[in-house]
């Protein structure tokens, strides 16, 4: 059988591919990972295992959010490497600003999503359902005659129909079950949640009071979003009252008293807990050719060729990052005006003893640099140079030898600067560019110098293994 290889080589084994030509491979392979976000664009740059023709980006900004992500700017600017770049976003971000086409998207308040089951830490069973609570901010568009908000789903439905792909349009989801609107997909998903995994496992049907509440609560939504007949047809008339029951509650949630049977968990882990993972032990590092260890072993961070990361005299401080309690992903702070007033910018946090040794006082401005970015600067692609620098804040609650920087700040797009959209000037808000991002000084890969250090087994990007120098400005 022909096994397709993804451009970032996740889930594929180097030795089993037609690319195998001994060690080291041109770039690392990651047979055990998923969602290897940071490797997609750099791999396209090297054309390994193949070049790309189109890049489609949704709800992400790897240039800003990944360590050493600034290295991707030159790649995205080169049409020979990325001939067509399409982005779908709620704003023009640090990555989508390089796209040939930027399509609007809907926010979490305007869209459907079904995140599914909870984390293993939850002792009761549940399935969350995200649903539109306000009308769409972007335009309503027609896709094959059907009105819907413009977003990622609308784009995919339009493309699928234009290309006559299977799985779109008439009878795509079964006889008499068309896929013409976003509702057609998501409400069937909710119906599955409502009816359960086995016979007799459904939630109760909504009664008249619940149905009335359901309609009133959505009466403000435009018909392109909420049309009861369309929703009922998408879910199935027999399932509809049960679907309404789930939607009124934002998901399906098991009663708390069912978490335990006597003094035991009602839903214990039933899989195999492997202390020795044979599949990992049989794999090899595609750079060094060495077999991985199938046992949990304590190893310090290293490059993919096995060379250990060590603290050098010129770079004595270990850099770590964190998220402020009122900042989640990149679209909370400093995008949110109220939250950014609580914390206008970030600082370079270090222990008082380290600040004293360096002769630094609170409020002094310093720059960070590293082995792979000794200047502590990066080019935005338009000749504008940015520096990884900020003010010092000394405190006792940090281990000596460690430098910490909150990661939300330092945007150079995302509404922070003026943009021309279809010939119209959209004014930026400089408040959004306050502070700085520490990611450009984080370690780059020794073999493929256009990507950050990456765990060869789990595939995680390294945010905490870089040693830096602190220089007074």
Predicted confidence (pLDDT) per residue in 17-28, tens digit: 999 999 999 999
CA atoms of 63 and 59, how far apart (whole Å)? 13
Nearest CA to 405 out of 427, 377, 366, 437 is that of 437
Q: How many residues does the chain have?
A: 473
Per the DSSP assignment, residues forming a β-bridge with 128 are 116, 251
Kindly list the distances between the CA atom of residue 22 and the CA atoms of 15, 156, 227, 288, in Å, as whole numbers in the listed order: 8, 40, 59, 10
Regarding pTM above 0.75, the answer is yes
CA atoms of 141 and 464, how far apart (whole Å)? 44
- What residue has token string 């006082």? 361
Predicted confidence (pLDDT) per residue in 159-194, tens digit: 999 999 999 999 999 999 999 999 999 999 999 999
DSSP string, 166-217: TTSBTTTTSTT--B-SHHHHHHHHHHHHHH-SSTT-PPPPP-HHHHHHHHHH
What per-residue confidence (pLDDT) applies to 472? 95
What per-residue confidence (pLDDT) applies to 331? 58
439 close to 64: Cβ distance less than 8 angstroms: yes
What per-residue confidence (pLDDT) applies to 15? 96
Decide: residue 398, CB within 10 A, 0-12 exposed, 13-18 middle, 19+ buried: middle
What per-residue confidence (pLDDT) applies to 329? 63
Residue 347 region, left (φ>0) first, then alpha (ψ -120 to 50), else beta?
Answer: beta
CA atoms of 402 and 414, how far apart (whole Å)? 30
Predicted confidence (pLDDT) per residue in 316-366, tens digit: 999 999 988 887 665 577 777 888 888 889 999 999 999 999 999 999 999
What per-residue confidence (pLDDT) applies to 121? 81
Q: Which residues of the chain have pLDDT under 70?
A: 1, 116-117, 328-331
Structure tokens at 355: 């600040």
CA atoms of 204 and 79, how far apart (whole Å)? 55
What per-residue confidence (pLDDT) applies to 237? 96
């Amino acid at each position: 059988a022909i096994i397709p290889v993804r451009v970032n080589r996740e889930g594929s084994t180097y030795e089993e591919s037609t690319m195998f030509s001994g060690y080291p491979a041109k770039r690392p392979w990651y047979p055990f990972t998923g969602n290897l976000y940071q490797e997609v664009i750099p791999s396209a740059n090297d054309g390994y295992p193949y070049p790309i023709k189109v890049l489609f980006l949704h709800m992400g900004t790897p240039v800003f959010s990944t360590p050493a992500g600034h290295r991707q700017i030159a790649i995205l600017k080169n049409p020979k490497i990325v001939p067509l770049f399409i982005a779908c976003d709620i704003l023009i971000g640090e990555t989508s600003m390089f796209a040939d086409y930027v399509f609007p998207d809907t926010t979490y308040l305007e869209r459907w999503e079904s995140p599914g089951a909870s984390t293993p830490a939850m002792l009761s069973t549940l399935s969350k359902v995200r649903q539109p609570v306000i009308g769409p901010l972007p335009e309503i568009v027609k896709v094959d005659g059907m009105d819907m908000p413009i977003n990622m789903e609308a784009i995919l439905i339009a493309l699928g129909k234009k290309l006559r792909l299977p799985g779109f349009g008439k009878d795509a989801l079964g006889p008499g079950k068309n896929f013409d609107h976003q509702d057609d997909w998501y409400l069937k998903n909710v119906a599955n949640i409502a009816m359960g995994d086995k016979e007799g496992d459904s939630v109760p049907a909504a009664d008249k009071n619940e149905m009335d509440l359901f309609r009133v609560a959505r009466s403000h939504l435009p018909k392109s979003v909420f049309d009861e007949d369309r929703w009922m047809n998408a879910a199935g008339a027999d399932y509809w009252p049960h679907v309404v029951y789930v939607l009124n509650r934002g998901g399906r949630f098991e009663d708390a008293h069912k978490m335990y049977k006597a003094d035991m968990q009602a839903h214990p882990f039933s899989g195999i807990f492997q202390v020795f993972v044979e599949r990992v032990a049989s794999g090899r590092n595609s750079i060094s050719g060495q077999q991985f260890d199938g046992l949990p072993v304590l190893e310090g961070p290293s490059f993919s060729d096995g060379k250990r990361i060590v603290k050098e005299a010129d770079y004595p401080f270990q850099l770590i990052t964190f998220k402020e309690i009122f900042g989640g992903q990149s679209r909370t702070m400093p995008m949110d005006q109220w939250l950014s007033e609580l914390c206008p910018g970030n600082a370079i946090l270090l222990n008082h003893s380290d600040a004293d040794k360096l002769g630094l006082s609170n409020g002094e401005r310093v720059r960070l640099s590293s082995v792979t970015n000794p200047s502590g600067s990066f080019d935005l692609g338009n000749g504008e140079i940015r520096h990884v620098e900020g003010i010092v804040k000394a405190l006792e609650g940090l281990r000596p030898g460690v430098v910490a920087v909150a990661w939300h700040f330092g945007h150079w797009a995302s509404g922070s600067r003026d943009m021309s959209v279809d010939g119209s000037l959209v004014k930026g808000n400089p408040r959004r560019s306050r502070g700085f991002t520490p990611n450009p000084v984080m370690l780059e890969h020794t073999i493929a110098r256009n990507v950050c250090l990456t765990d060869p087994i789990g595939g995680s990007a390294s945010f905490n293994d870089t040693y830096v120098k602190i220089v007074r400005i």
